[in-house]
Structure 1
Amino acid sequence: MVLRSERWLELRRYRALHEAGLSLSQIARETGLDRRTVRKYLAGEAAPAPPQRSPRRDARTSVLSPFAHVIDAWLRAELLLKGTVIHERLVEQYGFAGNYQRVKLYLQEARPRIAAEMGIGPDELAGLHRRFEVVPGAQAQVDWGDEGGILAHVGIAKVYSFHMVLSYSRDPFCCFTTSQDLSAFWECHRRAFAHFGGVPKSIVYDWTKTVVRRHVAPGQAVPLHPEAVAFAGHYDFDIDVLAAYRPTGKGRVERQVTIVRDHVLAGRGFSSLADLDTAFQAWVPMRRARTHRTHGEVIGVRAVRDHGALRPLPARPYAVAVRHLRHVGKDCLVAYDANLYSVPARRVRHRQLVEVRATAATITIHATIPDPHGETLLASHPRAVGRGARIVDPAHWDGLPDGHTRSTTTGDTPPPRTRPAPGGGPLQALLNRAAAAQVTVDRRPLSVYDQIAGTSPFTTTRSYPKGTTS
C-alpha cells in the first residue's frame, strides 16, 4: 500500500506533462504504471489515500492533564526543577496517582516549550543553574584543595588545604594539613568555628568519605558517617549533602579554593604548615576589605552580621579520635600511618596487641586490658608530620640493655694485672684465691714424704688388730 501511494504521488508530478501534450503511453512508461491507471487518474479520479493509523487516547496525557498547568507554572518559576521533585510534590500536594515515568515523559515536551516561551535556547539551558541566597548565619560550605608538593623541600610530600566559607558574607577560612583522614577533617572544623566565633546552622558537603558512609542511588536517603553525626550533634548544625556531580551547589567555596591559591600561595616559598597558616591569616584582613561583586557589599561589613547570627560554641570541644589495633615490636615501637611511636618496655611485651587513638595533633597508645588501677594509657606523643619518623621517649626504654658494660681493646698484649690490696671483703678474697692459683710449686714423689714422716711405703695390703674383721 505504501508503494502504491508513492506511485500516485509520483504520477501527480507528470500532470503538467500531460497538459503539455505528452500521451498517456509516454507518461505510463515514465511512471511504471498501467496506461489505464494513468487515464483514470488524469480523468479526475482521486488516488487512494494511504491507510492512516486510528487516533488513540494518550494515556500519559490523560493522567497528567489535570496537573499540566501546575507543572508548567513550576517550570516557569524554575526551569531546571528536577522531575523527581515535581513528582514528589504532585503526590504530596495534589494526590497524583501516576508514576515518575509519566512525569518524565511529559517534561521532555514541556521543558523545551517553556524555555522557548521564556526566550531561552537549548544551548543556553544546558549551562544554567539557580542562584540562591541565604540569611546571616544560615549556611557554610566546605571543600578540600590539593596543594601538592609545596613543602616537598622540607620532607613533606603532600599538603592539603581545608576551606570553609560563610555563604551569606563569603567570609573565608583556610588551614593546611598533611592528611584528609577523619580526625584531621573534624579538627579543621573546630579551628574554623573558632575563627568565625560560632557555628553555622548548616554546612554543605559533597560526597566525601568522612561525611558519607557509602554511595546510594539517586532519590535514596544518604547514609552519614557515625562520627559526622556525632560531631554535628555536638556542635548543633545540620549536614547538607549535595547531589552527585553538582559542584555548582557549593560554588562559593569552590571559588575560594582558587582565590587562596592565587593570592596566598602563588609565587611564595614556605618552610612549614605553620608558615602557610600564618600567610592566610595575614591575607584575611585584605580579603574582608574588598567589595564582593555578587552581593555588592564589603565582605567584612557583611561578615559582622554573619558572625552575629552564628550559634555559640559548646563549652567542651568534641575530640575526634581514629582507633586502630597494632602490635608492639621487639624495639618497643608501634607503627601507625608510616611512623613509629614508643611504649614503656616495663609494661608491654613483644607482639602485644595495643590500641592506637589518633587525633589531628596527638597519638595515644592504650592497652586493651586495664591494669589493676583501671588505667589503659601506655604512652602519649605528638603526631608526626610526614612519613618515616620515629617519636621516642627515652624513659620508655628504661631497663633494657644499653651496652654500657661492653669494652674493646687493640693489640695482642693483654692489659697488666694489678695485685689487689689486702682485705676488701668477699670479692677481694676471691681475687686472692685467683692470685694464689698463679704460684708455682715443686713436684716430688710420695716416697720423699714417707721418709720424712718415718712411715713405710704405701701398699694395698692393710693389717687389722686381732679379733676384728674387715
Structure 2
Amino acid sequence: MIQNGEFYMIHEMRRRGMSITQIAEELGRDRKTIRKWLEKKEPEKYIRKEQRPSKLDPFKEYIQQRMEEGCVNARVILEEIRARGYTGGITMLRLFMQPLRPVVRSKATVRFETEPGYQAQVDWGQFSVQWLERTKRLYAFVMVLGYSRMMYLEFTEDEKLETLIGCHLRAFNYFNGRTDVILYDNMKTVVAGSDEQGHPIWNERFARFADHHGFLLKRCQPYRARTKGKVENGIGYVRKNLWPRIREFRGLDDLNQQARWWLDHVANIRVHGTTWARPVDRWPEERLKPLNPIPFEQVDRHSRKVSTDCLVSFEASRYSVPFPFVGQTVQIQDERNGKIRIYSGETLIAEHVKATGKGEVIIDKKHFEGLVSAGEGRVPIPKPKLVLRPAPEVVERNLSVYEQFLDEAVRP
C-alpha cells in the first residue's frame, strides 16, 4: 500500500509532466496503483500499525553477509538459516533478499554523476565539544550539490524534524535555490520505515514540506550508504579539514560563523579531487529552482507574555524585546542553531544569540531606546509632607468658676 508520503511524490511527478508509466517505473509501482492514487485529491489518514517482530530478524545480518560473499540463491540460504533455527518460509526470505540483489552483483562502487540541478545529498555528522563543564554532542547538517559539489554546513543542537526542515531552508537560501531530487539514507525524520515490498514509508510532514517546495525525496539503496558518497565524503572533509581549525568558540552561533567562513574561503573554492574544478565555478551551471514563496511552517513557536522589564522567558533564560510590546503575547522561535527569533504575529521583532547556560539575560540596548522620553510628561506621584503633632489646646476659665464649684461641693 502506498503511504501518504509517497502520495505527495506521485502528484509532484505528475505536475512535472511525467506519464503514469514513467512514475510507475521511477517508484517501482504498478501503473494501476499510480493511476488510482492520482485520482485521489487527499491522502488517506495514516493509521499506525503495530510492527511485529519477523521470524527472519535474527538471521538478516547472516543473510546479508552470505550475499556479499556471492551466494544469492534463496534456497541455499534457506537451508543454511534453517540449520540455525529459522522456522519461516522462503517467501519472506526472498522479499528480504530482493532489494539487496543489485548491491551484491558487483562489489565495486561505481561513481554516479548527476546532471546540473538534478540532485543534492543530505546527511548528519556528530561532533563532541567541551561545553562549559561537560562534554556535549553537536550535530553537523551537510548538504552537497551533486554536480558542482557546492557544500552547505550548519551545526545544530539536535536532529529533530523541525531542525532538519530549518536546515534545509537555510541551505536553499545559501545555494539560492533547490535541486529536483534530494537523496537521504534511512534517517527516521525522513524515512519512517519500509513496507512489505521494501518501498520507503516517508515521514508525512517532511514529505509535505518537500511537496510544498517542489523537490522529490529519494532513499539510497538499503545497506548501501555509499550511494550517497558525495555527502559522506563531505562530512569526512569537515572532520579532517575544518574541525582541527576550531580551537574555541563562544557559542553555537559563533561556531556556525566560523563554519560559514570556512565554506566561503576554503571548502567551496578549492579544486575538487573528483571534478578537478572549483565548486563555486560549477555552481552557476546548476540552475537551481526557486522555492515556493509561500513559507512552510518551519518550527513550532512558543507563546510568551512580555514582562514589564521588556523581557520574555525561554528555557530558563530571558531575552529582551522592544518596549512597546510590554504586556503583549509574542512567539519565540528556536532555530536550534544558536539563534532565537521573536515574532509578534508574522512580524520579526527581535533576534538574539541563544544563551549557552541557564539564568542568563540577553539584552539588545536598542529595545529600550525612547523608553525614558516616553515617560516624560507623566503626572508626578504625590509626596506627602511630614507635619509635627501640635500641642493640645487648653481652655482658659476665670477662677471664680472654680470657686463656685468648690462652694457647691462643701454646702450641706
Deviations 1:141-179 (A, max 9, x none): 0011122106x3699944332211122343333233344
Alignment-derived partner of residue 81 in structure 1: none
Q: Structure 2 vs 1, CA of residues 194 and 347 (structure 1 numbering), >3 Å: closer, same or farther?
A: closer
Aligned twin of 1:418: none
The superposition leaves residues 404-434 of structure 1 with CA deviations (integer Å, 9 ceiling, x where unpaired) of xxxxxxxxxxxxxxxxxxxxxx989x64xx3
Asked if 2 retains the 8 angstrom alpha-carbon contact of 1:162 and 1:176, the reply is: yes
The residue number in structure 1 matching 2:261 is 278
What whole-Å deviation, never above 9, does each CA across 1:304-337 have from its counterpart, x for those lacking one?
2773343245556656132346789999865544
For residues 198-218 of structure 1, the C-alpha deviation after alignment (integer angstroms, 9 at most, x for no partner) is 311100122334434x43555
Q: Would you say 1:136 and 2:136 are equivalent positions?
A: no
CA contact (8 A) 1:234 1:318 kept: yes
TM-score computed with the length of structure 2 as normaliser: 0.54
Listed one character per residue, the Cα deviations across residues 258-316 of structure 1 (whole Å, up to 9, x for unaligned) are 112212222542433212321232112553x2341xxxx32337962773343245556
Structure 1 residues 346-425: aligned runs within 5 Å: 347=327, 356-359=332-335, 361-364=339-342, 380-388=350-358, 389-391=360-362
- Unmatched tracts of structure 1, length 5 or more: 1-84, 93-100, 112-123, 367-374, 399-425, 462-470
Alignment deviations for residues 78-113 of structure 1 (CA, whole Å, 9 cap, x no partner): xxxxxxx9xx78999xxxxxxxx9xx99942699xx
Distance 1:89 1:207, change over 3 A: closer
Q: For 1:320 and 1:135, how far apart are their aligned partners in 2?
A: 29
Q: Is the 1:182–1:320 Cα contact (8 Å) retained in structure 2?
A: no
Deviation at 1:392, TM superposition (A): 5.1
The letter of the residue matching 1:259 is: Y
Name which structure has the greater RCO, CA cutoff 8 Å, separation 6+: 2
TM-score after normalising by structure 1: 0.49
In 1, are the aligned partners of 2:193 and 2:200 still within 8 Å (CA)? no
Larger radius of gyration: 1
Distance 1:383 1:208 in 2: 29
Q: Please state which structure has a larger fraction of its residues in strand.
A: 2
Aligned partners of 1:178 and 1:386 also within 8 Å = no
Counterpart position of 1:224: 203
2:388 corresponds to which residue? 435
Matches within 5 A, 1:22-33: none
For the residue of structure 1 that corresponds to 2:260, the secondary structure is helix
Q: Which amino acid counterpart does residue 142 of structure 1 have in structure 2? A: V
Structure 1 equivalent of residue 272 of structure 2: 290
* Contact 2:341 2:351 (C-alpha < 8 Å) held by counterparts: yes
CA change 1:302–1:334 in 2 (3 A) is closer
Are 1:264 and 2:242 counterparts?
yes
The within-5 A match list for 1:59-74 is none
2:74 corresponds to which residue? 108
Displacement of 1:458:
9.1
1:215: which partner in 2?
A: 193
Classify the secondary structure of the residue corresponding to 2:278: helix
Q: Which runs of 5+ in 2 are unaligned?
A: 1-24, 33-55, 57-66, 78-102, 372-381
Q: Which amino acid aligns with 1:141?
A: Q
Query: What is the alpha-carbon distance in structure 2 between the residues aligned to residue 168 and residue 242 of structure 1?
Result: 17
Cα distance in structure 1, aligned partners of 2:283 and 2:301: 40
How do 1:154-165 and structure 2 match up within 5 A?
157-165=136-144
Count of matched residue positions in the alignment of Structure 1 and Structure 2 = 298
Fraction of identical pairs, as percent: 25
Structure 2 Cα separation of the partners of residues 384 and 125 of structure 1? 48
Structure 2 residue 217 is matched with structure 1 residue 251: no
Secondary structure of 1:193's counterpart equals helix
